[in-house]
Amino acid sequence: MSVFNKDGKFLRDYEWHNSGFAIDKNNNLHLIDYIEKMGHFHKTYSSEGNLLSSEFIGIGDHTNPRLWTVNNDNIYMSFIPPGGFRGIIKLYEIGKNAKIKRYQDIIPATNMNRYIDIYEDKVYTAVANFATAPKGNYTIKASDGWSNYEYPVPFASSLQITKEPLVKIPDDIANDGLLGLRTAKERVVIANKSGNYITCNLKTGETFKGFKKANAELIDFDLVLDQMIYLDSKGVLGGRVLSFWPKKKFDACRIEVCDEGLILSGGQKAYFLSKDSKDFKPIEIEGFTFAQPIPRGFVWTLEVRENGLWGADLNDCYGQQMGQVYTFNKDYNPVSIEVGPEGIEGELVVSDYENGVRKLMFIGNNGRMFWKIDAPEKICPRDVGFDHNSNLIFIEKIDDEIWLTRWKMTVPEG
């Protein structure tokens, strides 16, 4: 897909799979990517061509994806359902966190490229008989026949959880592109896309506000020695950046600090930036679609194995696989996967949506899943972490306010 300016000058191009596209009210471009065996990804690019987000939709058993339009936080996509084409396609309304909200069965118009449009709550489709043209009529049919998408009843966790509200997040941070939280011992930093942040000391209860000046909006951040390092909407690093790291744009939307340097991911490739000045060139890594570094130079990744099952692997920072650690069961069919943060002893934390309900899993490097719980609805990209006492902390909504909360869990005996 090629992009030109108003004078006809070529600007950039994107890899495109003939799967539709849409432009939102902020001039961001929305595309659908596909990774073999995993499924479909919804990717958003700024008007300058920089990657802003990459969200895993999944549903790899559906074929012929087509993105028709984007409206507020919803995207509208059609697929040929599993089993092949039988005269209809499925049109899905997909909301935040890749949750399918509603659907309609659509009879597609043959020999026509654009036969669907959505305005307000109605779907407009073209009806025409190409074979008999010019005889007959071309008509536009309006339909509001949405059906709610029903997920199977989810599994309930047996863990006992005590929830404790800690700090109310100020409205000017919570309501202006909240990015989430990062932790450093007893301190928690909560930031938004404008660079405004609040630091909370969980030992003393003290909080103070700050501002990180940047040349563009922030899309992700992390902490180095209690100082912020960030990736902005132009793909440029800022904040606590080593002087020998290249000053270039990266095709990435996630940033992870590790004891060996920095990992950037979310694009077609991942990048490892070493803290060693001798390795000043970024290392490009294939296959780090979901990557979470842990101490001693290891990186957790998720992949779909040759047998079709999802698995969690340990790799080094250069992309070499050290071992396959955990294999999910055959019924595992997630959407909106995110990995991280790292566990207290380097365990893998996986957040996803299963059957319309958000789950949080904790997997050890011994190949065991320690627990799996229902987590709060996701309201920002990085909403989970661990405090200095190894308790879970979340950013969640309580009575229309955004709070930092602590979850203490008790595992039943046996």
105: in domain: yes
How many domains, the chain? 2
Question: Are residue 140 and residue 167 in the same domain, yes or no?
Answer: no
202: in domain: yes
CA distance 145 to 403: 38
Domain ranges, residue 319: 160-410
155: in domain: no
153: in domain: no
Domain boundary among 113, 148, 183: 148
Question: Are residue 124 and residue 187 in the same domain, yes or no?
Answer: no
Question: Average pLDDT per run of 10 along the chain, which is 414 residues long?
Answer: 94 91 93 85 91 86 90 90 87 87 88 87 88 89 86 59 90 92 93 94 90 91 90 93 89 91 91 83 86 87 89 88 89 85 86 86 86 88 91 92 88 53
Question: Are residue 330 and residue 371 in the same domain, yes or no?
Answer: yes
Question: Are residue 234 and residue 116 in the same domain, yes or no?
Answer: no
Question: Are residue 45 and residue 95 in the same domain, yes or no?
Answer: yes
Domain boundary among 115, 148, 181: 148
342: in domain: yes
Question: Are residue 272 and residue 389 in the same domain, yes or no?
Answer: yes
CA distance 29 to 50: 10
Q: What is the strand order of the sheet 89-94 is part of?
A: 63-71, 74-80, 89-94, 100-106, 147-148
Question: Are residue 119 and residue 46 in the same domain, yes or no?
Answer: yes
Question: Are residue 94 and residue 166 in the same domain, yes or no?
Answer: no
Question: Are residue 328 and residue 394 in the same domain, yes or no?
Answer: yes
- For residue 97, give the CATH number of its domain: 2.120.10.30
282: in domain: yes
Question: Are residue 123 and residue 165 in the same domain, yes or no?
Answer: no
Per residue, what are the HEC states of the chain?
CEEECCCCCEEEECCCCCCECEECCCCCEEEEEEECCCEEEEEEECCCCCEEEEEEEECCCCEEEEEEEEECCEEEEEEECCCCCCCCEEEEEECHHHCEEEEEEECCCCCCCCCEEEECCEEEEEECCHHHCCCCCCEEEEECCCEECCCCCCCCCCCEEEEEEEEECCHHHHCCCEEEEEEECCEEEEEECCCEEEEEECCCCCEEEEECCCCCCEEEEEEECCEEEEEECCCCEEECCCCCCCCCCCCCCEEEEECCEEEEECCCCEEEEECCCCCCCCEEECCCCCEEEEHHHEEEEEEECCCCCEEEEEEECCCCEEEEEEECCCCCCCEEEEECCCCCCCCEEEEEEECCEEEEEEECCCCCEEEEEECCCCCCCECEEECCCCCEEEEEEECCEEEEEEEEEECCCC
Domain boundary among 100, 118, 148: 148
317: in domain: yes
Question: Are residue 285 and residue 385 in the same domain, yes or no?
Answer: yes
State the pLDDT at residue 188: 95
- For residue 328, give the CATH number of its domain: 2.130.10.10
228: in domain: yes
State the pLDDT at residue 268: 87
Question: Are residue 104 and residue 205 in the same domain, yes or no?
Answer: no
| Token reading at 338 | 């995110």
